[in-house]
Chains A and B, each alone.
Chain A
Amino acid sequence: MDALLHQVLAGLATGGIYASLALALVMIYQATHLVNFAQGEMAMFTTYIAWSLIQAGVPYWPAFFLTIGFAFVLGVALEYFVIRPVERAPVLAVVVVFIALLLILNSVTGWIYTYTIKTFPSPFPAQPVFGAYLSSHEAGAIGITLVVLALLYCFFRFTPLGLAMRAAAQNPESSRLVGIRVGWMLALGWGLAAAVGSVAGMMVAPIVYLDPNMMGGVLLYAFAAALVGGIDNPWGAVIGGFVVGVLENVLGAFVIGNELKLSVALVIIIGVLLVRPSGFFGRVHVTRV
């Protein structure tokens, strides 16, 4: 029983990692109706920027907020210079551009910073919470993810800007007619998603160590989490992240062993999608002919 509890808590900790990146994925989906495969690498890259700042002597919290700002600018710049030129292209072509971004960011980071792992500091104190089961950083990271979630939810639900962004993504033509600057909305969406991603990266790095391939595996599970929870629902994404994390750990430890953990976890996800094709909390889309 003790072991089960331990695995569940460890699963919540890793689930928190997936949830935070899934949030960024949902963010960009809500703004652009596209899944950005480069989200993980953007998060990783901005975390390296934070690391450089801290190495240069900047204290943690100023570096944290500076990095969020930098990530926002990076996101906007990427949308304006890299994504906008292919706006009119078929969806898959845009996906290819995302993949290219992933490759470029990963490769360039490896080149600049080498592949040796680096420690990334945590703002939380070192004592563990819940006995030895959950470190205070892991608990703190979950907390921060929930705070970001709440902020995002309020932003999209209750602010006019958030509404404008959702409108721009859902129906660009009508939005333009109503006076919404669709181009700006898209850029803003990218900026926000990059900022959320950078928070995810800075929370993840102390747990998994900072290296260029840090986010590869996380993106996989975050993608699954976002879709299982419903790609257009930030709450769903976070819950999905925790579910995926706990499922993965418990399955691997007690049910199927680590050798098939990946396959079984993903099969279960497909099973969920078969029962609820739009994810647990996603909105079912009604298409008219």
Chain B
Amino acid sequence: MKTTVIVGAIAAALALPAAAQKKYDPGASDSEIKIGNTNPYSGPASAYGQIGKAIAAYFKMVNDQGGINGRKVNFVSYDDGYSPPKTVEMARKLVEQDQVLFLFQTLGTPSNTAIHKYMNNMKVPQLNVATGASKWNDPKNFKWTMGWQPNYHTEGMIYAKHILQTKPNAKIGILYQNDDYGKDYLKGMEDGLGDKARSMIVSKVSYEVSDPTVDSQIVQLQASGADVFFNITTPKFAAQAIRKAYDIGWKPVQYLNNVSISVGSVLTPAGLDKSVGLITAAYLKEPTDARWASDKGLEPFREFMKKYMPDANIADNFNIYGYTVGGTLAAALKQCGDDLTRENVMRQSANLKSLRLDTLLPGILITTTPSDYAPLEAVQLQRFNGKQWELFGDVMQSH
């Protein structure tokens, strides 16, 4: 009897420190981690809403497999229609009313700009924002905001460097979407070309998302005499541009931005034969690309799509994007253990050491440090040969 009491007391004494180590901020508890998100599920940018759906499905899978450290992920996502005032309203709702632990993958540069100061003032993590703008990597001034994907500016610079190496006398024509995404890529290329930008870029034409086609712009670019084409367009317009360029007999060296590299949803509609020679920088594996058809690393992803997103189109890049960024967060949260304070979530997200996820291209790792808030900085160039993307060159780091 006495032994039981002593053993019991010792056990209780041992258990107490462990219980004291669990630290929670609003949104975290023994059973759940509440995450907030805004995505455009309505409006002209609603195609991007697929990312939110993919992430939701990913966390459903994680929960079915037992959750993260025994806790279920509660992923709360609201529609902001790609309108910054709505994003502000929904972000405030998530933080102040729904009391989420942090915001994850909020989508859109203007949307994130609108809540940038607010999130940092409230000291709530604005984690892995879904935009390729370069301004999210600023831990000194905005320690609560972090991006995820390789940024557009860097990608533009990589293409510029490649042009300078392979075709130093090129005449470059650029088609860009007239918004922050398009202008970021444009600036990247201009900065990458440096002093030669003015002489090399012979034509810059823009289009609006509301334009029905970009055929007129392609005709303009051909007329400018450009022999290199930097194609900064979203999937629908990318397909139009690729096809039109081919149809009018314009055969420049074409660099396609990473947002539109899907074989299934861009190159096939454009015409695989018309897409030969396209160059792009990639960091994710492309599920409809024949080269990964029997890749073991993609099998969990294919299973996931079949089971959790049966109606979605596997060719849609956004699905593998959502899956991968979800995996990044899952890894960071696992690292948090039982300390689920906002401070620690931020600390662990800024402490990912060479994280390897199978949906990323070989050789590409996720790394963050307290002074480097860019998880993905590596890309590799690839060229389309009519059937699949062929990687070439080395994995390039962007700094």
Query: Is A in direct contact with B (CB under 8 Å) within the complex?
Result: yes
Chain A interface residues (CB < 8 Å from chain B): 2-3, 6-7, 10-11, 13-14, 17, 107, 110, 114-119, 128, 132-133, 135, 204, 207-209, 211-214, 216-218, 220-221, 248-249, 252-253, 257-259, 262
A114-B50, A209-B236, A258-B206 as given contacts; A249 in contact with B216, CB under 8 Å = yes
**Residue B316, interface by CB 8 Å:** yes
- Chain A residue numbers with a CB within 8 Å of B208 are 217, 262
Chain B interface residues (CB < 8 Å from chain A): 42, 44, 46-47, 49-50, 178, 205-208, 210-213, 215-217, 219-220, 223, 235-236, 239-240, 247-249, 264-266, 268-269, 311-313, 315-316
- Chain B residue numbers with a CB within 8 Å of A7 are 216, 219-220
Question: When chains A and B are docked, how far (Å) is the Cα of A135 from the Cα of B213?
Answer: 14
B219:A118 contact, CB within 8 angstroms: no
Partner of B213, one of A114, A118, A119, A207: A207
A14-B215, A132-B247 as given contacts; A116 in contact with B265, CB under 8 Å = yes
Partner of B247, one of A17, A110, A128: A128
A259:B248 contact, CB within 8 angstroms: no
Of all chain B residues, which has the CB nearest A126? B247
Question: When chains A and B are docked, how far (Å) is the Cα of A77 from the Cα of B217?
Answer: 40
B220:A116 contact, CB within 8 angstroms: no
Of all chain B residues, which has the CB nearest A220? B210
A209-B269, A211-B236, A216-B210 as given contacts; A3 in contact with B219, CB under 8 Å = yes
Q: How far is the CB of A15 from chain B (nearest CB, A)?
A: 11
Of all chain A residues, which has the CB nearest B205? A258
Question: When chains A and B are docked, how far (Å) is the Cα of A110 from the Cα of B206?
Answer: 26
Selected A-B contacts with CB under 8 Å, 29 pairs = A10-B215, A11-B216, A14-B212, A14-B213, A17-B212, A114-B50, A114-B311, A115-B50, A117-B236, A117-B266, A117-B269, A119-B268, A132-B247, A132-B249, A133-B248, A209-B239, A209-B240, A209-B269, A213-B44, A213-B47, A214-B212, A216-B44, A217-B208, A218-B212, A249-B219, A252-B217, A257-B205, A258-B205, A259-B178
- Chain B residue numbers with a CB within 8 Å of A119 are 268-269
Closest 3 pairs between A and B when the two form their complex, measured CB to CB = A115-B47, A3-B223, A217-B210
- Chain A residue numbers with a CB within 8 Å of B265 are 116-117
A258:B217 contact, CB within 8 angstroms: yes
Question: When chains A and B are docked, how far (Å) is the Cα of A118 from the Cα of B208?
Answer: 21
Q: How far is the CB of A176 from chain B (nearest CB, A)?
A: 41
- Chain B residue numbers with a CB within 8 Å of A218 are 212
B223:A117 contact, CB within 8 angstroms: no
Of all chain B residues, which has the CB nearest A214? B212
- Chain B residue numbers with a CB within 8 Å of A208 are 212-213, 236, 240
Q: How far is the CB of B243 from chain A (nearest CB, A)?
A: 9
- Chain B residue numbers with a CB within 8 Å of A249 are 216, 219
Q: How far is the CB of A212 from chain B (nearest CB, A)?
A: 8
Partner of B215, one of A13, A128, A258: A13
A117-B239, A118-B269 as given contacts; A259 in contact with B313, CB under 8 Å = no
- Chain B residue numbers with a CB within 8 Å of A116 are 47, 235, 264-265, 313, 315-316
- Chain A residue numbers with a CB within 8 Å of B215 are 10, 13-14, 207
